[in-house]
Amino acid sequence: MTSRLPIAGYPHFALAAQDDKALSTRTLTGLSKAGFVIESDRIVPPQGISAQGIIAAITDAFQAAKQR
């Protein structure tokens, strides 16, 4: 995983890699389950999602990843 994955269509948003690879992997898995497509160089959000929706999805995925 790169140290920074930009969010397609939102150049000011990016997901930064965590020092904890397992936590990063679980966060990306959570985003994938929420309809995001994880590519090697970017994250593609679901069609029609708002900036607030992206922030909420990232927050939810990260919090769920930390619970495991």
Task: Count Cβ atoms within 10 A of the Cβ of residue 8 and give its class: 0-12 exposed, 13-18 middle, 19 or more buried.
Answer: middle
User: How crowded is residue 58: how many other Cβ atoms within 10 Å of its Cβ?
Assistant: 20
3 three-class SS:
coil
pTM as predicted: 0.87
- Greater pLDDT, 46 or 11: 46
Q: pLDDT per residue over 2-38, tens digit each?
A: 478 999 999 898 888 668 888 999 999 999 999 999 9
Q: pLDDT per residue over 8-18, tens digit each?
A: 999 898 888 66
Residue pair 17/2 in contact (Cβ under 8 Å)? The answer is yes
CA distance 58 to 61: 5
